[in-house]
Amino acid sequence: MSEIANKVKRKLKSHPGAQAVCCAVTANGLPGFVFFLAIVFALSFIARLGLDNSVKIFTAGEIATQDVAADQNLQIEDVEATSRKREQVAQSQPPVFDVSPLPYEALVKSVDDILTSVRTAGGEDLDKLRWQIAENLNTEIGGEIIEVWRQDGFKNLIDQDVLPWLKQNYEQGVVASAALFAPYKNGILIRDLPSMMETLRMDTRDLKDIKQVKDDMEHMLKVSMNKPFRVRKAVYTLVNPFIAPNMTFNQETTQSRRREISQAVEPLYYIIKKGEVIVRQGERVGPIQQLKLQALYSHRKGSYNMLRALGIFGMCLMFLAVLYASLERTGVKRLRNTDWMFLAVILVIFGLLAKMADVVTLPGGSGLPEGTRALYFAFSLPMAGAAGILALFFSKRLCIFVSLILAFLASNMVFGGIGAFCYYFVGSMIYIYLMKRSETRSQVLRATLPLFAALCVMWVSINLMDLSTPAVTGTGLVFVALSAFLSLLAVVGIAPIMELLFGYTSRFRLMELLNLEQPLLQELMVKAPGTYHHSLIVSNMVEAGARAIGANPLLGKVAALYHDIGKLKSPHYFIENISCKENRHNKLAPSMSALILIAHVKKGVELAREHRLGQQITDLIGQHHGTTLIAYFHHKAKEQAEAKGEEPIREEDYRYPGPKPQSKEAGLILLADAIEASSRTLVDPTPSRIKGHIQNIVRKIYTEGELDDSQLTLKDLTLLSETFHRILTGIFHQRIEYPSAKTTEVKNGKTREEPVCAVGPKNAAEHAA
């Protein structure tokens, strides 16, 4: 474990989430925090460790010797179906035909060159030119054709009628043969090369090939223009050899586009659900079943993936960073080594329990497929019980975030996916809410029913998402009920053990300490009745104040009951217990009296530890005076020092050692203690005087900075002042004066002196402090 801790320390330096959390942990809690991170680190790697590699492989045609069920959700690509679909989509892509202006331009240039050369030549040169043109055109050219070409009318016919008509046909596109369009029933794409503009032509019947263009030109000359055969032959001889297709099939572009569109087609998958039976015993294995078995084997849990484990640990660190951001800085700093170790132990217990669900399954004779048995076992885990245990000792936010980490780790351990994660986390949040509202053990028992109802809703919802059969859903409800019951057992059985081992104080322990028959309270009532009565009033004030400002009323009330148990060691040195005896402080030096008063805090802490009251109550006892000044004896010591001409006294010698209140409950006890004790010095405690007195005490304590670390706001102080005023007004209410024995004796002519108790200083607050 130390090696893991050292490895975690090295990783903390480079991870921003861990750095943020470490900044919020003081040196006092750093070892425990490192231990907690080490546990998270170890569980992250255990989560991706597959311990059951029993996936059997059967080939096609072989008889299966056992049932094989999927142990995880998986997608397997159907290669043949995907290939057929892609081929079908590719064939539906229309081919690309390029239309180029170059063939027409070449035709015009060639025709123009021949006519120009013929019209300018003469004599023997003309005859040589005729043989050269015939050789180039690969056709026989007679002298009569040359004569026609030399005529101006023929030149005009070519320039004004034939070439414009050919241009019009070339603009539409001329293909070598109309048979090229036969395979393409879904149309073609015609791309004009100069502009690269594409046009989809669904009907290709109106597109001409070379033969049709020649036939149409003959029809135009013969029928439309009524030209003689001699002229028509001269035109055919001159133009036909240069008529070439300007629309050509672009195979490279067509294939490229077909590849792109086929690659865009999503693969077709076989969907395998966790628990699905791939092949049954005695069944002949088919090709598809073999494919599924091979996929399961290649994705088996034994193929460990280090990167996934690191990813799980990184996610847990980010959860901790969010925890740090959501909690107040002081709230995180209050987590001690014991707290971090407690959280780590909870993670270990329930994390390893989740890993067992990945390894151990129900017996094969249960009639359920192997994967389904593992699924049921995973959803019967009492992860909500872990949250319930945490809710007994920690704040709601801390419980939620630790439950988030545990749910994330557990869902990865059982390979349950998002469904298992939601099941664990939502169940944990609901149980945290229920446990925070439970104040008795019977309420904890009753909280199992709403937990079971919530888990049932989650289970049914998950099965609806996964399209599970009604039989699987119905059978799983039994295991959901088992999860709720085991969560209850975890809270009832594990919580007291953890409370004993780590010294925590649960709500149920607080209810036991609230019983006035506790030996410590009974001893306080007998030996220090004034302190006992004072503690009762302070506890009622603290409880009412805690409810008003949203603090923990139960913890505050119990701590207020025990806050002055340190006075048991020397009860007669405190004014509320002196009665009519002589005040012992009259014979002591002020410094000694101050030491006695200061010592009752330390002795109270010792008694709290001796009687196992819990760390929370022990801390509140140690903070209930903060670092306030014992003003009465400080003032008395100053007067004596000035009268004797001695050196000025040190104020620190007359202050409580602290620490200052670190929580709302501690600040509440400090205020209620000071206000209740000092209110006894009021001569005529009318409501207005009580209100003014409370405001003065609160203002004095606030300005001295005693509440700086208590998280109490000005709004809280206003609510507390109103609450304390209401309670003290009820205590000091006016009563009707009843006839007394003294009044009766005066009427009979007799007088009797009542004993007067003079105990010294009348400032009860200074002695009670």
Q: Which pLDDT belongs to residue 30?
A: 77
- Which of 574, 542, 487, 493 minimizes the C-alpha distance to 666? 542
DSSP codes joined into one string, 418-480? HHHHHHHHHHHHHHHHHHHH--SHHHHHHTHHHHHHHHHHHHHHHHHHTT--HHHHHHHHHHH
Question: What gap in Å lies between CA 166 and CA 111, rounded to an integer?
Answer: 12
Answer for the pair 734, 686: CB distance below 8 angstroms, yes or no: no
Answer whether residue 13 shows pLDDT above 50: no
Residues in contact with 477: Cβ distance below 8 Å, sequence separation at least 6, in sequence order: 456, 459
Answer for the pair 187, 200: CB distance below 8 angstroms, yes or no: yes
**pTM of model > 0.75:** no
Mean pLDDT for the chain overall: 82
DSSP codes joined into one string, 599-666? HHHHHHHHHHHHTT--HHHHHHHHHTTTT-B-HHHHHHHHHHHHHHTPPPPPGGGGB---PPP-SHHH
Answer whether residue 156 shows pLDDT above 80: yes
Q: Which two tokens stand for residue 746?
A: 């005066």
Residue that wins the pLDDT comparison between 205 and 212: 212
β-pair partners for 99: 192, 247
Answer whether residue 732 shows pLDDT above 70: yes
β-pair partners for 248: 98
Answer whether residue 14 shows pLDDT above 70: no
Q: Cα dist. 572→382, 576, 663 in Å?
A: 54, 8, 31
Answer whether residue 25 shows pLDDT above 90: no
415: number of CA atoms within 13 Å, CB side?
A: 25
- Mean pLDDT over residues 80-96, rounded? 87
Q: How confident is the model at residue 498 (pLDDT cuts 50, 70, 90)?
A: confident
Instruction: Report, in this order, helix, strand and coil percent for the chain, each rounded to 5.
Output: 65, 5, 30
Q: Which pLDDT belongs to residue 360?
A: 60
Burial class (CB in 10 A: 0-12, 13-18, 19+), 307: exposed
Radius of gyration of the chain (CA): 49
Residue that wins the pLDDT comparison between 530 and 15: 530
Other CB atoms within 10 A of residue 579 CB? 11
pLDDT tens-digit series, residues 600-641: 999 999 999 998 888 889 999 999 999 998 888 888 888 888
Q: How confident is the model at residue 306 (pLDDT cuts 50, 70, 90)?
A: confident
Q: How confident is the model at residue 557 (pLDDT cuts 50, 70, 90)?
A: very high
Quote the percentage of the chain above a pLDDT of 90: 28
Q: How confident is the model at residue 23 (pLDDT cuts 50, 70, 90)?
A: very low
3-class state of residue 300 by DSSP: coil
Where is average pLDDT lowest: 137-146, 294-303, 323-332, 556-565? 323-332
Q: Which pLDDT belongs to residue 623?
A: 93
Question: What gap in Å lies between CA 619 and CA 666, rounded to an integer?
Answer: 8
Question: What gap in Å lies between CA 463 and CA 379, rounded to an integer?
Answer: 12
Q: Which pLDDT belongs to residue 49?
A: 67
Answer whether residue 560 shows pLDDT above 90: yes
Answer positive or negative: Cα dihedral of 412, 413, 418, 422. Answer: negative
Q: Cα dist. 389→226, 347, 484 in Å?
A: 108, 12, 14
Burial class (CB in 10 A: 0-12, 13-18, 19+), 667: buried
pLDDT tens-digit series, residues 313-330: 888 888 888 877 776 544
Q: How confident is the model at residue 89 (pLDDT cuts 50, 70, 90)?
A: confident
Q: How confident is the model at residue 737 (pLDDT cuts 50, 70, 90)?
A: low
Burial class (CB in 10 A: 0-12, 13-18, 19+), 740: exposed
Residue that wins the pLDDT comparison between 335 and 425: 425
Answer for the pair 29, 270: CB distance below 8 angstroms, yes or no: no
Q: Which pLDDT belongs to residue 26?
A: 47
What secondary structure, in 3-state letters, does 223-255 show? HHCCCCHHHHHHHHHHHHHHCCCCEEECHHHHH
- Mean pLDDT over residues 414-430, rounded? 88
Answer whether residue 227 shows pLDDT above 50: yes
Answer whether residue 594 shows pLDDT above 60: yes
Residue that wins the pLDDT comparison between 679 and 647: 679
Q: How confident is the model at residue 750 (pLDDT cuts 50, 70, 90)?
A: very low
Answer for the pair 191, 250: CB distance below 8 angstroms, yes or no: yes
β-pair partners for 331: none
Q: Cα dist. 236→120, 217, 392, 436 in Å?
A: 22, 9, 105, 103
Answer whether residue 301 shows pLDDT above 70: no
Q: How confident is the model at residue 374 (pLDDT cuts 50, 70, 90)?
A: low
Answer whether residue 441 shows pLDDT above 60: yes
Question: What gap in Å lies between CA 267 and CA 265, rounded to an integer?
Answer: 6
Answer whether residue 690 shows pLDDT above 60: yes
Q: How confident is the model at residue 509 (pLDDT cuts 50, 70, 90)?
A: confident
Q: How confident is the model at residue 5 (pLDDT cuts 50, 70, 90)?
A: very low
Residues in contact with 422: Cβ distance below 8 Å, sequence separation at least 6, in sequence order: 458, 462
Residues in contact with 524: Cβ distance below 8 Å, sequence separation at least 6, in sequence order: 531, 532, 535, 564, 565, 567, 568
